[in-house]
Structure 1
């Protein structure tokens, strides 16, 4: 293997790690799961995709849209062990659908349905972050928001708005 290619692959792996780690931890927290669950799922998912994907350029990672589904599952099922069992069953179903080549039927779902689902998930994620943004969870008794949290969040939003890449 070429040393230059190995170096570039290593740097790409570090970049993916730096993006995936906080995302995995944040999604676990948003799902009301331990941070270790997010870390473990990110690592296991990456290894499984690497081992079984036929693509040389496969990238895997947590999907923020699943936060609403997992949060609902934890609330409905009531325990993490039942959620993990449901996830294992879902994984087996996905493998079975893959073996049956069921993905070819995805084209039958209208784009408007998929877009509507994505908008609903996005809105739910935004609404879940409003208390974090305003610091309502950490505000002192009698206060609606934490000035420190709100200023950090507003500063971060300002940086995001001003730091537009061409």
Structure 2
């Protein structure tokens, strides 16, 4: 069973973004972002943001990223999820944030495999994750319930082995 980790990562610097633990001051901004129509199409508002890392661009919070770790030795791996404000979509920030966190999970946390599971029809996210090196594994049928419509939707399971990290 995957165990959610507290945002214990140190500040992580990518080429474009910085990741750091979410603070109480970030909550209002993140609540607004997750309710943007372009974000809400893929994300339900979380109960809290405590287990996330803020994604910053030039000091401005533009989204959040989180990770989970499975620490059972026979199944050890980590998973990643991310959302960014719509006004910064298409600029490579999500790719940079995912790559930055993936490098930390591989190099510092010792994971040999990472997973990510976007909606199967979220082609923009899928392309972004592929740029980091994630590959499709299979479709997870009726994987997540769309909080706006109540309809079950498919997810795409993607994974990345440490040696494939770009």
TM bracket, shorter-chain basis = under 0.3
Greater fraction strand: 2
